[in-house]
Chains A and B, each alone.
Chain A
Amino acid sequence: MDFVVLTIVFLVYFVLVGYVGYLAWKRTKSSEDFMLAGRKTHPYIMALSYGATFISTAAIVGFGGVSGQFGMGILWLVFLNIFVGVFLAFVVLGKRTRKMGHNLGSMTFPEFLSRRFNSKFIQYFSGLIIFFGMPIYASVVLIGAARFMETTLFLDFHLSLIILSLIVSVYVIFGGIKGVMYTEAVQGTIMFLGMIFLLIFVYWALGGVETAHMSLTNMAPHFPASAQALGGTGWTTFPALGSEFWWYLVTTIIVGVGIGVLAQPQLAVRFMTVKSNKEINRAVLLGGLFIGVTVGTAYIVGALSNVYFFEHLGQIAVDVVGGNIDKIIPTFIGMALPEWFVYVFLLTLLAAAMSTLSSQYHAQGTSLGRDIYETLKGKKNIESVRLTRIGILIAVVLAFILSLVLPGSVVAQGTALFYGICAAAFLSVYLCALFWKRTTREGAIAGIVSGTFVSVFWLLFIFGRTAKGLGICQALTGQATLIPTMPWIAIDPIMFAVPISLILTIVVSLLTKPMPKEHIDKCYKGIANNEIANKKTVNKEIADEKV
């Protein structure tokens, strides 16, 4: 690999991102511009921005590596990413969120829930969850990107942290959500083109779809003992029911990430950035294609790399990388693909990291500025943009400091922690807010608080991966987890926290006074009558055709 060429490619990319960020800054005038892109985002930008935020480097390299070790069962996550994370999220939740968010004039996800339930508590409590939960997630992404610049550009790790923090913070602070979304559209395009080439190349190089899978199936006798010990059965077969890996795959990866995505504040806010349902309809096409190609490719290639490595080196992927599964995808690409593609792929990974990072900074900034500070002060719409910018700056500094001090065991759990807590806190209340008019303020508060506490408790004291990684349970009780037997240590918190939160939301709502009818009418204006309106439109079209 030519270091000069790589440096030039990266510089061109940084200039392009900088230019797009500059355009965003020029087009940002009001707080609605800064937080919701003036509610007029183009569907291409909305779809790619959603996808690029959703898919970080960890999803490509990390889960791609999991696929290399354990096989293609993880494709169920891709299916849920597309069907739940795009189709249901956009069509069922997104359209309602957009309309209701507009009816209530809300600018952030916590503000959406707070206005829906007339509760300031919900706004600052949700803001606090985001502001204090997200820095760990952001620092994980930042560390990943900096490590990657360290190994590819031979830059010092600390210098890489500073460069990345500076570049991303400049366009987020000045360009607001437009800065975030415009640059994400550029980054998403790079990711899409890089990954689709990779997918086609790998199937072509291994003799076609069926032949490639067949070769992988025939390699079953070489399936690693390390994966078998945890319940893996082969690269093209599902893990043994009830084994440790089965629980991890099904509850943490497939349910936790696949369904938990619905309640991610930085993603849900995207629906409020478009003007009408037409943009959402178009974004479904682009978003589904984007997620399918980027994530699907990573997992298919991760598993199939075993075939390539075995044919050329006589070893399976895990052995080639010496057990560090994060290296499976990069090693495979370095060996099997043409040299020019290595540059494209490195750019793809950097783009994936920066796009996730920028949304995290923006979400934290709006949480601190608008959801926490302004709500507690009782002053709205006065200095939202300035306060949010300060919030973003604090978020950038926090992520930077955490990147320097966090131990590796915490880093490994950062993404799962934040995803899990968000899903537990928000998922059931968010769904009730959109679909159940009878939900009350007290019910919503009960749901958010119970979900948060059950999830945090389970993560710290029962769930093996996080409890052992964080070490808080060990320090307080002297044992690594409270219930050290299977399957409890292997079941993800989301499996308990979300149902408990949902039950409490429903029970407490039914026990308390319904919200005023005028308020519900305001929230659901243009929503409840949707179907009737659509039918009228269709009937009118049919009548017109007959004429």
Chain B
Amino acid sequence: MILGIPDPWVLSGYIFTVLSVVLCVVYGIINWNKGDEEDSYLE
């Protein structure tokens, strides 16, 4: 049993929750300074 949760449905909910937070954090860090050039570049 992983993390004390026997049901794969509940366990996957728990793990996906943690992973999605990690995804947001990593995405934010990688793109922290990207995106402000776009307006001047395209208009």
Interface residues of A (CB under 8 A from B): 71-73, 75-76, 78-79, 82-83, 86-87, 91, 95, 209-217, 234, 236-238, 275-289, 292, 296, 525-526, 529-530, 533-534, 536-537
Q: How far is the CA of A212 from the CA of B3 in the complex (A)?
A: 9
Taking A210-B4, A285-B27, A533-B41 as contacts, is the C-beta distance between A277 and B35 under 8 angstroms?
yes
A242 to chain B minimum Cβ distance, whole angstroms, is: 14
Interface residues of B (CB under 8 A from A): 1, 3-7, 9-10, 13-14, 16-18, 20-21, 23-25, 27-29, 31-39, 41-43
Set of chain B residues within 8 Å of A83, measured between Cβ atoms? 16, 20, 23
- Shortest 3 CB-CB contacts between residues of A and residues of B: A285-B28, A288-B24, A213-B4
- CB-nearest residue of chain B relative to A292? B21
Q: How far is the CA of A90 from the CA of B36 in the complex (A)?
A: 15
A267 to chain B minimum Cβ distance, whole angstroms, is: 16
CB pairs A–B below 8 angstroms (19 shown): A72-B5, A73-B13, A75-B10, A75-B17, A76-B16, A78-B13, A79-B13, A91-B27, A213-B3, A213-B4, A217-B4, A284-B24, A286-B28, A288-B21, A288-B28, A292-B18, A526-B38, A526-B43, A530-B38
| B7 partner, pick from A236, A277, A285, A296, beta carbons under 8 A | A236
Whether B7 contacts A238 by the Cβ 8 Å rule is yes
- Majority SS of interface residues in chain A? helix
| B33 partner, pick from A217, A278, A283, beta carbons under 8 A | A278
Whether B39 contacts A276 by the Cβ 8 Å rule is yes
Set of chain A residues within 8 Å of B38, measured between Cβ atoms? 276-277, 526, 530, 533-534
A20 to chain B minimum Cβ distance, whole angstroms, is: 25
Q: How far is the CA of A276 from the CA of B3 in the complex (A)?
A: 41
Whether B20 contacts A79 by the Cβ 8 Å rule is yes
B13 to chain A minimum Cβ distance, whole angstroms, is: 4
| B20 partner, pick from A71, A280, A292, A533, beta carbons under 8 A | A292
Whether A288 contacts B4 by the Cβ 8 Å rule is no
Taking A73-B13, A213-B3 as contacts, is the C-beta distance between A276 and B24 under 8 angstroms?
no
Q: How far is the CA of A284 from the CA of B27 in the complex (A)?
A: 7
A296 to chain B minimum Cβ distance, whole angstroms, is: 6
Whether A537 contacts B9 by the Cβ 8 Å rule is no
Set of chain B residues within 8 Å of A280, measured between Cβ atoms? 35
Q: How far is the CA of A208 from the CA of B10 in the complex (A)?
A: 18
B29 to chain A minimum Cβ distance, whole angstroms, is: 7
Whether A87 contacts B23 by the Cβ 8 Å rule is yes
Set of chain B residues within 8 Å of A533, measured between Cβ atoms? 38, 41-42
Set of chain B residues within 8 Å of A276, measured between Cβ atoms? 35-36, 38-39
Q: How far is the CA of A217 from the CA of B31 in the complex (A)?
A: 40
Known: A214-B4, A288-B23. 18 other contacts (CB 8 A): A73-B9, A76-B9, A78-B17, A79-B16, A79-B20, A213-B3, A217-B6, A234-B7, A236-B5, A236-B10, A238-B10, A276-B36, A278-B31, A285-B24, A285-B27, A292-B20, A526-B38, A530-B42
Whether B20 contacts A217 by the Cβ 8 Å rule is no
- CB-nearest residue of chain B relative to A536? B41
Set of chain B residues within 8 Å of A86, measured between Cβ atoms? 24
| B25 partner, pick from A72, A278, A285, A525, beta carbons under 8 A | A285
Taking A211-B4, A237-B6, A525-B43 as contacts, is the C-beta distance between A284 and B17 under 8 angstroms?
no
Whether A537 contacts B24 by the Cβ 8 Å rule is no
Set of chain A residues within 8 Å of B5, measured between Cβ atoms? 72, 213, 217, 236
A418 to chain B minimum Cβ distance, whole angstroms, is: 25
- CB-nearest residue of chain B relative to A102? B39
Whether A237 contacts B34 by the Cβ 8 Å rule is no
Q: How far is the CA of A66 from the CA of B12 in the complex (A)?
A: 19
Whether B10 contacts A71 by the Cβ 8 Å rule is yes
Taking A87-B24, A288-B23 as contacts, is the C-beta distance between A278 and B43 under 8 angstroms?
no
Set of chain A residues within 8 Å of B18, measured between Cβ atoms? 292
Taking A296-B17, A537-B41 as contacts, is the C-beta distance between A281 and B28 under 8 angstroms?
yes
Set of chain A residues within 8 Å of B17, measured between Cβ atoms? 75, 78-79, 82, 292, 296
Set of chain B residues within 8 Å of A525, measured between Cβ atoms? 42-43
- CB-nearest residue of chain A relative to B11? A236
Q: How far is the CA of A354 from the CA of B34 in the complex (A)?
A: 33
B36 to chain A minimum Cβ distance, whole angstroms, is: 4
A47 to chain B minimum Cβ distance, whole angstroms, is: 9
Q: How far is the CA of A210 from the CA of B11 in the complex (A)?
A: 12
Q: How far is the CA of A79 from the CA of B42 in the complex (A)?
A: 35
Q: How far is the CA of A525 from the CA of B16 in the complex (A)?
A: 36
Q: How far is the CA of A95 from the CA of B13 in the complex (A)?
A: 27
Whether A529 contacts B42 by the Cβ 8 Å rule is yes
Set of chain B residues within 8 Å of A211, measured between Cβ atoms? 4
- CB-nearest residue of chain B relative to A71? B10
Taking A91-B27, A277-B38, A281-B27 as contacts, is the C-beta distance between A237 and B7 under 8 angstroms?
yes
